[in-house]
Structures are given as structure tokens and as C-alpha cells.
């Protein structure tokens, strides 16, 4: 593997509770807006949690055939739109697409749960009307690899193509894997990230049963409160976050605008518990250290962290513990924020959505606030959690953390691109 091969970000695409435009998305984050609302697309009056940061209905006709859009699961729809919008930002239209060497262009868009809506509706159909009424698309539209597969069919991309499913660490794992394919010489360009559409009756019921969700129904916009002493669980979110990664050589050769540099990343496992992190943060610390090593950077090069920060009692502080272990006294020079305070937890898409937030921080020199942080945990120490108001910051190096059920840890590292 050629670690000296530089990898750059040339496009970003998003589907979110704030819409499907990267600038609009980051403007909403900078303003401290919340995308968390009462759930209205299915009845949930008897659920102890009745809110989420869902993706509103939107027109996909510019990106997906209308008939196909009606058929496919929302997670595939989100991934397709985000992927094609990322290509648009990368200035890869029909003419440029024809010039690409398609065998050296790949896609890794993962999902934690895949076609949950299709699975729910198919199961309901089976129980109520029998097996003969199950759609022939039932299996294709629930499996997690189909988002990247259908996008590849649309684009003609014949390079590495698969999905990764590591719960809430999925998108970061996908980005790391995509970058490694470029380093290994398997591809010149990769579309990568995550997509999730889990705000469904069965998705909500599952997390309710898991006792992972906030129950702050009286004011949903205040329910997601990372690092606040009053936090009581996470808020479900959904959407897709997708990046275009290219080798620097490939990007420059086609005259691309480079948004940021991907320096490196790492993945690992707590090997500890099905849903709880190691409380001492040792798994988190190991992952961050490996990511910095892969990036060839020192801890002093990092001054911004986009935290996993789900707003759960255990998870938030395990991450903080790990950060203190790695960065020591340098934490006083760092800012860390929690995107999920406004977008909810986008599960398998979270790392992709938060990679975009991290890259926008680099591009704009502004880091968004952590909303609802009124009583910060003392254990934060001298880390600045950017409470409630955006701050100016010239980002020298950024890390974005994502951790998932099963103990899956992942960290990716970005920085400003310098020739």
C-alpha cells in the first residue's frame, strides 16, 4: 500500500432533515437549527418516544426514474440522490462521466440496516395476504449492497463495489475502505459513505425496546443534548452522506476543484459488549491513535473533532475519556462539536453526514455549535464543546469519530488541501 499517495475530496452529496444541498445543510448547522420533529408519517402515539430527525418528502425526478423511485426502498433512494449530487459537486456531468475509466471507478455506500421499510411492508403483506403477494423486489431492496449496485448500474462504474454494515460506524468504515482501494491502486475515484432510512414503525420500536432513545417528548428539539448532564438517550435520524474521493493525480488531471484532503483513517473493535462501549475509552483511544498513524500526523496537528456524541449517558463520556487519553494537555487547543444535537443520530449514514460537516468546517473556517448544551459534563475538562453558538476556527486538522453497536470503532482524518 502506497501511503504517500495523496487522496482528496472533490465532491459531497447529502440527503438530510435539512434538505439535500450541502450549503443549506451546513448553514442550518451553523445557525444551530434542529431537524428533530414529532413523527407524522406513521402512528406512534403509544410509543414512549414520538419524535425523530426524519428526511422530509422530496422530489427525486432529476436523479431517479419516477417508476423506479416508487419501487426502491428509501435508503436506496437517499443513496442514489446523494451519490449523484456528489458527482455534480465534483463537476462530473454526462460528458465528464464518459471520459472516466469506468473500471477504475468504484462505490462503497454502506447501510446499518438496509431496506427496513421494505422488510416491514413485506412482512406485513406476508402475514395479512400470504406469500403470493410478496413483491419480487423484496429481497433486492432490503439487502445493504443494492444502493451501491444500482448506482453503479446507472453510472457504469465497474470498480470495487460492495457494502459495509457496522451499525453506526458504517459510513466511516466505507470511507476508510474506499480510500484504501485508491491507495492500493485498485481505483482512481470512489463514491463512498452511508445511507439509512430507519424512521419506520419497526425501527422506532426496536430502539425503544433497546432503551437507547431519549423520551423528551415535551420538547423534541431539546432531546439530543450531547455531553449535557441531563441527556437521556439518542434521537433517531436518517439520510445519506456521500463523498467523492480521488487520487490527487486523478483529480488534478481532470481539473477538479479539491475541497479537502483525506489524510487517513482507522477501524477497530472494543471486543467488550454488544451495545455498551468500554467506559475507560481505551477502544476509542486506540482507534484515534491508529488513524493519526495512518495519516502520518501528530496529535498537535489536530484542532477540531467532530464527535460521535450520540447523547447517551455511557457513549458520550467513553469518547471523551478516549480523547483525553490520546491528546493529553493538547485538548486545551481543540474544539469538539456534536452534529447529532441537530440532525439526530443518522445511524449507518452518520459518519458520511458528519464527514461533510467536518469538510465544510475546513472550507468555511467555522465550526457549528453543539445545540442544547446547557450543563456540560465536568469530564470534558478543557475541551471546548462549542456550546450553542458557532465559532470561527482555522482548521489545521480534523478527525471525525463514529462508533457502533458491537464495539465497532472508526476515525477518519481530514485537513485543508495544500499543493
Half-sphere exposure of 312 (CA within 13 A, CB side): 22
Residue 134 falls in which region: left (phi positive, over 0), alpha (psi -120 to 50) or beta: beta
Question: By the 8 A CB rule, do 251 and 11 touch?
Answer: no
Question: By the 8 A CB rule, do 235 and 345 touch?
Answer: yes
Question: By the 8 A CB rule, do 308 and 315 touch?
Answer: yes
- What's the sign of the alpha-carbon dihedral 276, 278, 279, 284? negative
Question: By the 8 A CB rule, do 290 and 204 touch?
Answer: no
Question: By the 8 A CB rule, do 367 and 361 touch?
Answer: yes
3-state SS string for 292-350 = HHHHCCCHHHCCEEECCCCCCHHHHHHHHHHHHHHHHHHHHHCEEECCHHHHCECHHHH
Computed on alpha carbons and rounded to an integer, the radius of gyration of the chain in Å comes to 20
Q: Of these residues, 286, 324, 345, 368, which one is catalytic?
A: 345
Check if 345 is active-site.
yes
Half-sphere exposure of 371 (CA within 13 A, CB side): 21
Rounded to 5 degrees, what are φ and ψ at 160? -50, 130
Question: By the 8 A CB rule, do 9 and 414 touch?
Answer: yes
Count of C-beta atoms within a 10 Å radius of residue 48: 12
Q: Of these residues, 263, 286, 308, 408, which one is catalytic?
A: 308
Q: Of these residues, 17, 44, 105, 168, which one is catalytic?
A: 168
Check if 168 is active-site.
yes
Question: By the 8 A CB rule, do 263 and 295 touch?
Answer: yes
Question: By the 8 A CB rule, do 353 and 380 touch?
Answer: no
Half-sphere exposure of 72 (CA within 13 A, CB side): 25
Catalytic residue IDs: 168, 308, 345
Amino acid at each position: 500500500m502506497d501511503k504517500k499517495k495523496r487522496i482528496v475530496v472533490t465532491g459531497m452529496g447529502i440527503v438530510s432533515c435539512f434538505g439535500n444541498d450541502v450549503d443549506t445543510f451546513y448553514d442550518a448547522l451553523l445557525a444551530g437549527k434542529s431537524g428533530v420533529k414529532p413523527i407524522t408519517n406513521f402512528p406512534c402515539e403509544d410509543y414512549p418516544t414520538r419524535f425523530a430527525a426524519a428526511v422530509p418528502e422530496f422530489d427525486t425526478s432529476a436523479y431517479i426514474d419516477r417508476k423506479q423511485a416508487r419501487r426502491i426502498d428509501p435508503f436506496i433512494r437517499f443513496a442514489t440522490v446523494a451519490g449523484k449530487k456528489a458527482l455534480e459537486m465534483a463537476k462530473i456531468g454526462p460528458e465528464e462521466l464518459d471520459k472516466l475509466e469506468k473500471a477504475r471507478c468504484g462505490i462503497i455506500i454502506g447501510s446499518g440496516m438496509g431496506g427496513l421499510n421494505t422488510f416491514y411492508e413485506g412482512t406485513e403483506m406476508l402475514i395479512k395476504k400470504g406469500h403470493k403477494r410478496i413483491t419480487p423486489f423484496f429481497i433486492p431492496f432490503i439487502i445493504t449492497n443494492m444502493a451501491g449496485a444500482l448506482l453503479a448500474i446507472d453510472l457504469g462504474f465497474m470498480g470495487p463495489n460492495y457494502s459495509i454494515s457496522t451499525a453506526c460506524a458504517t459510513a466511516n468504515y466505507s470511507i476508510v475502505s474506499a480510500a484504501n482501494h485508491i491507495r492500493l491502486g485498485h481505483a482512481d475515484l470512489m463514491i463512498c459513505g452511508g445511507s439509512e432510512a430507519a424512521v419506520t414503525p419497526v425501527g422506532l420500536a426496536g430502539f425503544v425496546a433497546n432503551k437507547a432513545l431519549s423520551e423528551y417528548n415535551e420538547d423534541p428539539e431539546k432531546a439530543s443534548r450531547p455531553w449535557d448532564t441531563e441527556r437521556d438517550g439518542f434521537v433517531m435520524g436518517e439520510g445519506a452522506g456521500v463523498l467523492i474521493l480521488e487520487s490527487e493525480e486523478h483529480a488534478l488531471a481532470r481539473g477538479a476543484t479539491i475541497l479537502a484532503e483525506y489524510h487517513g483513517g482507522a477501524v477497530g473493535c472494543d471486543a467488550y459488549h454488544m451495545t455498551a462501549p468500554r467506559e475507560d475509552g481505551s477502544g476509542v483511544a486506540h482507534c484515534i491513535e491508529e488513524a493519526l498513524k495512518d495519516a502520518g500526523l501528530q496529535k498537535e496537528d489536530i484542532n477540531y473533532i467532530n464527535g460521535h456524541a450520540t447523547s447517551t449517558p455511557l457513549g458520550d463520556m467513553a469518547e471523551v475519556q478516549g480523547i483525553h487519553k490520546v491528546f493529553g494537555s493538547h485538548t486545551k487547543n481543540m474544539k469538539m462539536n456534536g452534529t447529532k444535537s441537530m440532525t439526530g443520530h443518522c445511524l449507518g449514514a452518520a459518519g458520511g453526514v458528519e464527514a461533510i460537516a467536518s469538510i465544510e468546517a475546513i472550507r468555511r473556517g467555522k465550526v457549528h455549535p453543539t445545540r442544547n448544551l446547557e450543563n456540560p459534563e465536568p469530564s470534558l475538562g478543557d475541551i471546548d464543546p462549542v456550546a450553542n453558538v458557532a465559532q470561527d476556527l482555522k482548521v489545521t486538522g480534523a478527525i471525525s469519530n463514529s462508533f457502533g453497536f458491537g464495539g465497532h470503532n472508526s476515525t477518519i482524518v481530514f485537513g485543508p488541501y495544500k499543493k
